[in-house]
Amino acid sequence: MILAVAAITIVLAACVAISGTELSAPVATPDDATPPTPTPDTAIAPGPPADMTTAASPAPVTAPPIAPTPTSPPPAAEPNTIIAALPPPAGKPPPSGRQAFAQECGACHWAYRAQFLPARSWRMLMANLSRHFGEDARLEPATAKVITDYLVAHAGDAGGRSSWTMAGLAPAKTPIAITDMPFWRGIHSRFSPAFFARHGAKSKGDCIACHGPGGPG
């Protein structure tokens, strides 16, 4: 009996010694614990903190204001464009009908007064300059038109009037020679061919030979 009690006492003492050793051994805290190295099969991808409610949200990023692009003024017109938009510079003005008549027709003979023929005669005469009393007296179309307009506007019957040079002329007649006009014949019928020859007239229509440079009035 005594031996049994002694054995029990020894066992209990051993147990107490073991328990004291375990209690006195240092216990690893979570801060000192070394996390196990995850294996490929157990690795966990990094992610946000578990407690999302307490994590600070990043401040919203606001884009800086964009300044408005200034409107560029329209490009200045090129000098050539301005020049093209303006009328051409004034050059020498074209000659008037009277000047053109004196220059072109007076170069060959005395420039007869426009009132010596009716308008219809001047139109016919100017329309047939290629057969002008045996000569080719054609002009540039623009020049011929200026001269025709002048002669028609100052003809003996221009504007419905009837000049003294139209006396005795039948409406159906369209003479193209001044010497065929009734007024001319009435004035010069008393002069013989010898009279014209003495004055050096090349023809009856050579007015300057008898009347001088100014011709008849």
- Whose CA is closest to 147, among 195, 95, 183? 95
Q: What is the pLDDT of residue 61?
A: 58
| Cα 171 from Cα 156, distance rounded (Å) | 13
Q: What is the pLDDT of residue 60?
A: 59
The token pair that represents 97 in the structure block = 């009908």
Q: What is the pLDDT of residue 83?
A: 43
Q: Report CA-CA distances (Å) from 152 to 8, 10, 156, 168, 192.
A: 166, 165, 9, 20, 32
| Ordered per-residue pLDDT tens for the chain, 217 residues | 555 555 565 655 555 455 444 444 444 444 444 545 545 444 444 544 444 444 455 565 565 566 566 566 665 655 554 444 455 455 566 678 889 999 999 888 888 999 999 999 999 999 999 999 999 999 999 999 999 999 999 999 998 888 999 999 999 999 999 999 999 999 999 999 999 899 898 888 888 888 887 777 5
Amino acid letter for position 189 = S
Chain-centroid distance of CA 50 in Å reads 74
Q: What are phi and psi of 135, to 5 degrees?
A: -120, 155
